[in-house]
Amino acid sequence: MYTFSSKLKTFAFVLMVLGALGVGYSFFTAPKTLDDAKAIIEAEHAHGHGAEAHGDAHHDDAHHAEAAHDAHAEHAETVVVEKTEAEVAATAHDSVGAAEIKAETDTVHATATAEAGHEGHDHDAHAEAAHAGHDAHAGHEAHAAHDADHHAEHVFHQLQNKPWAAVYVAALFFFLISLGVLAFYAIQNAAQAGWSPVLFRVMEGITGYLVWGAAIVLALLVAGVLQIHHIFIWMDPEVVAHDHLIQGKTGFLNGPFFLIRAVVFMGGWIFYRYYSRKLSLAQDEATDNLSYKKAFKAAAAFLVFFIVTESISSWDWIMSVDPHWYSTLFGWYVFASFFVSGITTIALITLYLKSRGYLEYVNTSHIHDLAKFMFGISVFWTYLWFSQFMLMWYADIPEEVTYFKMRIENYNLPFFGMVALNFVFPVLILINTDFKRLSWIVTLAGIIILTGHYIDFYNMIMPATVGDQWFIGAGEIGAVLFFLGLFIFVVFTTLTKQPLLAKRNPLIEESKHFHY
């Protein structure tokens, strides 16, 4: 039996308290009124204002098209920029023209942005975004006069979203880690893997967080539907009333159906977790293999249920923050991201328990296998990430590509940094067979992978909710610390409940002597 070390318990509580303080601070400092937001915008303009291409902020995009145009007129450009300019003129002639007309109505903003010094090729993006926005919303000239107020209101909403989005990203990340472990557990059961049964109790311990994580994420989704926060803009009837694209999706994207789906999906996953754990414990005491056979069938059925619900839940909880954008391989992409995080978490917790002397039969071959999975699924994640990115980049269809334009311009370091963290480092570190057996190497790679995939989820949620107002500050770090503390507390408490070695699993002897 595992006993929860008091040091680790204290550590978990400290994380939770620090995290709660950070989250509380970020809620406290978020602007309460429009005037607060205006003051923040003023302060930012003094420092130079970044580019902005938010999906629903079509009037802003028009500003930047004109701003970049002005910048081009005022500053001497390089040869490269001249070429881009010619290209832009061909593709986005009328939108730039439209932007020019409006330049007279809003010169203050234009000069402020022009001072920020846009690159020539950025011009392309803004002009295109403006073009798309112009087409989709023919009546938006009417807004031009109120643009400054609109912009302030827009930033106000983004700043108000910030602490909520930080909590949501962290809550989702840790919840999905335990879901990834559950999927891995089901795969090991259904595949009748001979190496992993000595790790089953560790996996069951990690999935103990599933019910907590689900409850918190569900609470956040309910809060969204109740208009307590505005992470999901399609939940706002005001927005939907003026948005034909969202109106067309209300058959799927509506509050009640959204919550029913969430409850059914989470309920199904929690039920499998509860049932498989029960069977796993029953098998310990049994005299036959009936429980094992039931667990095998349950795992197979769960995997079918999981792959459907995981895909839909990723549209619901992640893709719907950008309700104008869609991607067909998004469900797989999200799955790969939390699946590799889950496997990494198994490896890290196994190494911790092993180092404390709790896992007698776990040897370097088990670690080696986990590290191979970390390596392989990291590459798989990169494959999906690149496939999604490259297909949209290549075709360059405005309604798709704004998603990536937005991220590359405003989230450049997180967007490309995570590719280094999730692909380059794991591949270079974990390609070596001897390295995959070293605890400290696997721990190092694991921390890099988990950081990278947190940033991956950050990149999925933040651009749609806070736009260019992002920052990894007290709220974001606090939320991660809080959920990390909760995760550690729940997981290690679950681990104390049962022995760390399954007794009568038919494959346990093979697993004990597993050697690669």
Partner 1 sequence: MSNKVLHVLYNDDDILMDAVKKTRAAHHHIEEVFTPFPVHGLDKAMGLAPTRLAICAFIYGLVGLSVATSMMYYIMIVDWPQDIGGKPSFAYYMNMPAFVPVMFEMTVFFAAHLMVITFYMRSRLWPFKQAENPDVRTTDDHFLMEVPVHGDENELVSFFQQTGAVEVKVIEKH
CB of 83 or CB of 242, closer to partner 1: 83
* Cβ proximity to partner 1, 87 vs 236, nearer residue: 87
Q: How far is CA 59 from CA 42, 235, 412, 478, 511, in A?
A: 19, 21, 23, 34, 61
Q: Which is nearer to partner 1, 121 or 437 (CB)?
A: 121
Q: Contacts with partner 1 in 361-380 (CB under 8 A)?
A: none
- Provide the minimum distance between the beta carbon of 117 and partner 1 in the complex, in angstroms, as a whole number: 19
Stretch that binds partner 1, among 302-310, 385-393, 482-490, 497-505 (CB under 8 A): 385-393
| Cα–Cα distance, 208 to 202 (Å, whole number) | 10
Q: CA geometry: angle at 489 spanning 487 and 490, to 5°?
A: 70
Site size toward partner 1, by CB under 8 A: 14
The reply to whether 433 sits near partner 1 by the rule CB under 8 A is: yes
Residues 6+ apart with CB under 8 A from 194: 507, 510, 511, 514
Structure token digits, residue 366: 């088990």
Residues 36-95 that bind partner 1 (CB under 8 A): 80, 83-84, 87, 91
Comparison of 175 and 389: residue with beta carbon closer to partner 1: 389
Residues 242-301, interacting with partner 1 (CB under 8 A): none
Please name the residues in contact with 96: beta carbons below 8 A apart, sequence gap of 6 or more: 65, 66, 69, 88, 89, 127, 130
Q: What is the C-alpha to C-alpha distance for residues 329 and 267, in angstroms, rounded to an integer?
A: 24
In the range 85-104, which residues lie near partner 1 by CB under 8 A? 87, 91
**In the complex, what is the shortest distance from the CB of residue 418 to partner 1, in angstroms, rounded to a whole number?**
16
Cβ atoms < 10 Å from Cβ of 140: 17
Which CB, 392 or 462, lies closer to partner 1? 392
Tell me the C-alpha distance between 18 and 485, whole Å.
Answer: 9
Residue partners of 410: CB distance under 8 A and separation at least 6: 50, 51, 52, 53, 463, 467, 468, 470
Q: Where are the beta strands (DSSP E) in 205-260?
A: none
Site track for partner 1 across 470-499, x = CB under 8 A: ------------------------------
Least Å distance, CB 121 to partner 1, is 7
CB of residue 386 to partner 1, shortest distance in Å: 7
Question: What is the spatial distance between Cα 409 and Cα 72, in angstroms, rounded to a whole number?
Answer: 18
Check: CB of residue 324 under 8 Å from CB of residue 399.
yes
Please say which residue, 336 or 392, places its beta carbon nearer to partner 1. Answer: 392
CB of 398 to partner 1, least distance (A): 13
* 402 contributes a contact to partner 1 by CB under 8 A: no
Looking at residues 108 to 137 of the shown chain, list those that interact with partner 1 (rule: CB under 8 A). 121
Q: Does 390 bind partner 1 (CB under 8 A)?
A: yes
Contact residues toward partner 1 (CB under 8 A) are 80, 83-84, 87, 91, 121, 386, 389-390, 393-394, 396, 431, 433
